[in-house]
Chain A
């Protein structure tokens, strides 16, 4: 049975984890690294030169000219081009003009959406998991910030679809952390606050653990606040203090990287020096922890509003919280830790699980539970909530709330609509997400166009529209005309992001080598293993023909011939099966050789020779 995996698709880095032998662990890449930078690099920038790199190689080439390295694209997922112009500039990305629905970055002749870039990261992690597990991974749980709205979740699901992954569940990051924490600590009857400050997003969730049910009581956050902002703030200070003036995209990115490195050093050091090469000169700027704290304080303080809102939604005060769990690399910053501790009345936050890994670990646990055959627990259930209210536009641009925020999901609500004109056969429903009274102040999710309504006088049709939010927090809509029972057809036009048709098109366009590559790799591994077993047996026969019994020699040769033939072919399963068969067929022979060697050892032969004979060095 294939193994389900959990993926933490992060702003600055991503991870993949799985539960193996009843224990959740992060799956390392071939260099033994857990964190895969969420970075994608494109070199040439033309149809002919589409060379690209994903992860660490992409990041390590970021400073080179001619190509472009995209990072932090999670910040752009599910958002409107008009919202992100400034931010794109801060990252040095060129946006394709004239599209008010889909964000596209330009590099030479090529264009990339954040969804495609995320898909490349997902595919990389999936392959990495396959290499460790030596089998095709099964379904995937992908984590998203709890405060992601419908469009941002949809964009994440689209990325998974482009990467050809089977998504079992989108799981909220703080909830994933709580699973990892709760299952390892067995903390029943407790109220837990998960403070999650990542590279680009902030989330706070309050959960209650009761009789094996993890219930999310409330969640709040800011999808545009994170450790990236610390780097940018420090980079701006450096730019001003050195009088660097206008910088190119690449110069700015190098400055931000220098700032980020300094931030990391200041986690342990009280003082550090930043070296910047500019205009042929090397500038050295000393910075102290205290200066850095002062710089980031206003950014960190913005998290307090969300924490207060979450507590008030949960009808709790800071004193009611039993445990505080820190998640996200940015919670390593000493100022952040001190701030959180003070926010929760001096309670020391939990840091026992690596804040970079805890989300992926929780995701893999949930993936394991969803397999229906978990050894971790058969009795854990996770009940999550909708972070932002869903509403529809009514007369005068006013929002009518249909599913309030903090509702436990899945959730449904229905609403009856009618027509305003005789013979009208279509109705448009504009769905928004947010807490404000007026449509224009909320986030537009899309328009649902109901068609196929039977022609009747105005006001007669009664179209019952059912809104359903699934366990991933994603909305779907269905509709029926009540008097005739006709199911109205619904066409979804997302306000921002890719439409279904566009995703389909991308899937068709993508020349999908990934699957082949992966199978190819497994095939090679199977051949290598077969070759090893085959060689070992052939050598043993040559050395110890005298130990063969009965028709053993002929049987071995038969299987060896069969295996050799299979190895020329491409059937990996057959190669593996025959390798196993050869191993089993020759087991008795191998046993006799070991016994013979032991007997020789007891006769007082040189210990080194015995060791060699037994294959022990």
Chain B
């Protein structure tokens, strides 16, 4: 990238030579905009710290006295890092993003749950005989198991070359979502 103002080479949101804010990427990658490595194992505090550090650089408050162009870019940058933090902070959303390269929509249709899983659920409900507390407890335990499986799978992916997105993740996340609903009594 070349700085739009001083024509020097730049990396990151601000030009090191002249301090000008650079245009945000057209299709921002959540890890990139926060200056983080693409990874599954990342602590919430790490994400928050990166987000705070970037906020300091690009937030509109820093550009209130600057040109309209920079004010506009500052708004776009800040919105991008805020979206990135939201998408990466929660492990379920982070897993989804790693696997698909997209944000997980709030009401993504359940996807195709595999028949074995549905069979398990059916048996669970049959056993519980309409006891909602029992179903919730079982579902919650199953959810934790699925989370364990997801974590193992993504850690394995992380050890590899990370160029291809992890596979089998969205199916696990769909199961988790289904179990989350069951785990909430009265829902």
- Using a CB–CB distance below 8 Å, which chain A residues touch chain B? 139, 168-169, 210-213, 215, 366, 369-373, 381-383, 400-401, 404, 407-413, 468, 470-471
A371 near B65 with CB under 8 A, answer: yes
Q: Give the tally of cross-chain contacts (CB within 8 A).
A: 63
B83 near A213 with CB under 8 A, answer: no
Please tell me if B56 contacts chain A, counting CB pairs below 8 Å: yes
A408 near B56 with CB under 8 A, answer: no
Closest partner residue, chain B, to A382 (CB atom)? B61
A213 near B79 with CB under 8 A, answer: no
Majority SS at the chain B contact face? helix
B59 near A412 with CB under 8 A, answer: no
Give the 6 A-B residue pairs with the shortest CB-CB distance, closest first: A372-B65, A370-B64, A412-B79, A471-B60, A410-B79, A408-B82
Across-interface contacts of B68 in A (CB, < 8 A): none
> How far, in whole Å, are A383 and B79 apart by their CA atoms in the complex?
12
B82 near A471 with CB under 8 A, answer: no
A383 near B55 with CB under 8 A, answer: yes
> How far, in whole Å, are A371 and B64 apart by their CA atoms in the complex?
7
List 13 A-B pairs, Cβ < 8 Å. A139-B64, A210-B52, A211-B52, A213-B52, A381-B59, A404-B106, A408-B86, A410-B60, A410-B82, A412-B83, A413-B83, A471-B59, A471-B75
Please tell me if B30 contacts chain A, counting CB pairs below 8 Å: no
B60 near A470 with CB under 8 A, answer: yes
Closest partner residue, chain B, to A470 (CB atom)? B75
Chain B interface category by residue count = 20 to 34
Given contacts A381-B59, A468-B75, 10 further A-B contacts (CB under 8 A): A169-B64, A213-B55, A213-B56, A370-B65, A400-B107, A407-B86, A408-B85, A410-B79, A410-B82, A412-B83
Q: Which of B6-64 contact A (CB under 8 A)?
A: 52, 55-56, 59-62, 64
With contacts A213-B52, A468-B75 taken as known, whether A411 is within 8 angstroms of B83 at the C-beta atoms is yes
Please tell me if B170 contacts chain A, counting CB pairs below 8 Å: no
Would you give the shortest CB distance from B105 to chain A, in whole angstroms? Answer: 10
> How far, in whole Å, are A412 and B86 apart by their CA atoms in the complex?
12
Across-interface contacts of A409 in B (CB, < 8 A): 82
Across-interface contacts of B78 in A (CB, < 8 A): 410, 471
A383 near B59 with CB under 8 A, answer: yes
Across-interface contacts of B79 in A (CB, < 8 A): 410-412, 468
> How far, in whole Å, are A291 and B62 apart by their CA atoms in the complex?
51
> How far, in whole Å, are A296 and B106 apart by their CA atoms in the complex?
41
> How far, in whole Å, are A210 and B131 apart by their CA atoms in the complex?
46
Closest partner residue, chain B, to A370 (CB atom)? B64
Would you give the shortest CB distance from A411 to chain B, in whole angstroms? Answer: 5
Closest partner residue, chain A, to B75 (CB atom)? A410
Across-interface contacts of A470 in B (CB, < 8 A): 60, 75
Across-interface contacts of B55 in A (CB, < 8 A): 213, 381, 383
Q: Which of B74-98 contact A (CB under 8 A)?
A: 75-76, 78-80, 82-83, 85-86
Closest partner residue, chain B, to A413 (CB atom)? B83
Across-interface contacts of B107 in A (CB, < 8 A): 400
Q: Which of B52, B55, B64 has the most CB of A within 10 A?
A: B64
> How far, in whole Å, are A395 and B85 apart by their CA atoms in the complex?
31
Closest partner residue, chain A, to B64 (CB atom)? A370
Would you give the shortest CB distance from B12 to chain A, in whole angstroms? Answer: 18
> How far, in whole Å, are A468 and B24 apart by their CA atoms in the complex?
15
With contacts A371-B65, A408-B82 taken as known, whether A401 is within 8 angstroms of B106 at the C-beta atoms is yes
A372 near B64 with CB under 8 A, answer: yes
> How far, in whole Å, are A498 and B7 apart by their CA atoms in the complex?
45
Across-interface contacts of B61 in A (CB, < 8 A): 169, 366, 369-370, 381-382, 471
> How far, in whole Å, are A407 and B78 apart by their CA atoms in the complex?
12
> How far, in whole Å, are A215 and B60 apart by their CA atoms in the complex?
15
Closest partner residue, chain B, to A476 (CB atom)? B75
Across-interface contacts of A382 in B (CB, < 8 A): 61
Across-interface contacts of A168 in B (CB, < 8 A): 64
Closest partner residue, chain A, to B85 (CB atom)? A408
Would you give the shortest CB distance from B20 to chain A, in whole angstroms? Answer: 14
Across-interface contacts of B65 in A (CB, < 8 A): 370-373
B82 near A407 with CB under 8 A, answer: yes
Partner of A411, one of B52, B60, B66, B82: B82
> How far, in whole Å, are A576 and B71 apart by their CA atoms in the complex?
36
Q: Which of B59, B60, B61, B85 has the most CB of A within 10 A?
A: B61
Closest partner residue, chain A, to B52 (CB atom)? A213
Across-interface contacts of B106 in A (CB, < 8 A): 401, 404
Across-interface contacts of B75 in A (CB, < 8 A): 410, 468, 470-471
> How far, in whole Å, are A371 and B82 apart by their CA atoms in the complex?
24
> How far, in whole Å, are A366 and B83 apart by their CA atoms in the complex?
25
Across-interface contacts of A370 in B (CB, < 8 A): 61, 64-65
Across-interface contacts of B66 in A (CB, < 8 A): 372
> How far, in whole Å, are A408 and B85 apart by their CA atoms in the complex?
10
Across-interface contacts of A404 in B (CB, < 8 A): 106
Across-interface contacts of B85 in A (CB, < 8 A): 408
> How far, in whole Å, are A401 and B103 apart by their CA atoms in the complex?
14
Would you give the shortest CB distance from B97 to chain A, in whole angstroms? Answer: 15
Would you give the shortest CB distance from A214 to chain B, in whole angstroms? Answer: 11
Across-interface contacts of B60 in A (CB, < 8 A): 410, 470-471
Across-interface contacts of A408 in B (CB, < 8 A): 82, 85-86
Across-interface contacts of B80 in A (CB, < 8 A): 412
Across-interface contacts of A373 in B (CB, < 8 A): 65
Closest partner residue, chain A, to B59 (CB atom)? A381
Would you give the shortest CB distance from A74 to chain B, in whole angstroms? Answer: 25
Across-interface contacts of A410 in B (CB, < 8 A): 60, 75, 78-79, 82
> How far, in whole Å, are A210 and B85 apart by their CA atoms in the complex?
16
A381 near B83 with CB under 8 A, answer: no
> How far, in whole Å, are A369 and B78 apart by their CA atoms in the complex?
18
> How far, in whole Å, are A107 and B122 apart by their CA atoms in the complex?
70
Would you give the shortest CB distance from B44 to chain A, in whole angstroms? Answer: 11
Would you give the shortest CB distance from A146 to chain B, in whole angstroms? Answer: 17
Would you give the shortest CB distance from B23 to chain A, in whole angstroms? Answer: 15
> How far, in whole Å, are A401 and B106 apart by their CA atoms in the complex?
8
> How far, in whole Å, are A366 and B64 apart by their CA atoms in the complex?
11
Would you give the shortest CB distance from B114 to chain A, in whole angstroms? Answer: 29
Across-interface contacts of A407 in B (CB, < 8 A): 82, 86
Would you give the shortest CB distance from A530 to chain B, in whole angstroms? Answer: 33
Q: Which of B60, B80, B86 has the most CB of A within 10 A?
A: B60
Would you give the shortest CB distance from B179 to chain A, in whole angstroms? Answer: 22
Would you give the shortest CB distance from A176 to chain B, in whole angstroms? Answer: 13
Closest partner residue, chain A, to B49 (CB atom)? A211
With contacts A410-B82, A411-B83, A470-B75 taken as known, whether A381 is within 8 angstroms of B56 at the C-beta atoms is yes
Across-interface contacts of A211 in B (CB, < 8 A): 52
> How far, in whole Å, are A404 and B64 apart by their CA atoms in the complex?
26
> How far, in whole Å, are A411 and B52 apart by their CA atoms in the complex?
15
> How far, in whole Å, are A372 and B82 apart by their CA atoms in the complex?
23
> How far, in whole Å, are A215 and B82 apart by their CA atoms in the complex?
12
Across-interface contacts of B83 in A (CB, < 8 A): 411-413
Closest partner residue, chain A, to B103 (CB atom)? A413
Across-interface contacts of A381 in B (CB, < 8 A): 52, 55-56, 59, 61-62
Closest partner residue, chain A, to B66 (CB atom)? A372
> How far, in whole Å, are A363 and B40 apart by their CA atoms in the complex?
41
Q: Which of A169, A212, A381 has the most CB of B within 10 A?
A: A381
